[in-house]
């Protein structure tokens, strides 16, 4: 099983432009420049699946703490904008969801590739979170995270 790339602290975060749930383009470098905040990019397999819903709702419920710490949360999956809009509206998500149907950004961040699923090696989204500093460099990178409890562990690791 070949390992996908893994970003390390200090690496330049790959810039990207992806459409949000409303079909509007969002560019990482622009978000960093306009907000002056660090960005938490969390990569998840599919909107409206049980684990991804748990993780998204955990981010939603803790968004105030991330915001108070000067962080913007962006969720990225291979879903198209219409499915992201349905997910956002159904779960009352108040942070930006981005779609990467071509999986270029997921791949650039090491969040897509070979993984084990029920003992079989498959290609898929590797649930991951990357924290990008205001300088555009990776501060922290977490791979193969579990949906349940990840946000609490992330907050502890970030000192929130």
The distance from CA 94 to its chain's CA centroid, rounded to whole angstroms, is 14
Catalytic-residue membership of 57: no
Q: Which of 52, 84, 98, 131 is catalytic?
A: 52
Report which of 107, 133, 108 is spatially closest to residue 40, judged by C-alpha positions.
Answer: 133
Q: For the beta carbon of residue 56, count every other beta carbon within 10 angstroms.
A: 26
Q: For the beta carbon of residue 87, count every other beta carbon within 10 angstroms.
A: 22
User: Could you tell me which residues are beta bridge partners of residue 99?
Assistant: 19, 77
Active site (catalytic) residues: 52
């Amino acid at each position: 099983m070949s390992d996908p790339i893994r970003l390390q602290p200090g690496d330049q975060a790959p810039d990207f432009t992806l459409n949000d749930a409303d079909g509007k383009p969002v560019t990482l470098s622009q978000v960093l420049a306009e907000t002056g905040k660090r960005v938490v990019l969390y990569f998840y397999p599919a909107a409206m699946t049980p684990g991804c819903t748990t993780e998204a709702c955990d981010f939603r419920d803790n968004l105030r703490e991330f915001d108070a710490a000067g962080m913007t949360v962006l969720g990225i999956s291979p879903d198209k904008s219409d499915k992201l809009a349905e997910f956002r509206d159904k779960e009352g998500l108040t942070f930006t969801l981005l779609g990467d149907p071509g999986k270029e950004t997921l791949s650039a961040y090491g969040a897509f590739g070979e993984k084990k699923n029920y003992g079989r090696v498959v290609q898929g989204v590797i649930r991951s979170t990357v924290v990008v500093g205001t300088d555009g460099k990776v501060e922290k990178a977490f791979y193969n995270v579990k949906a349940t409890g990840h946000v609490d562990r992330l907050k502890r690791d970030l000192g929130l």
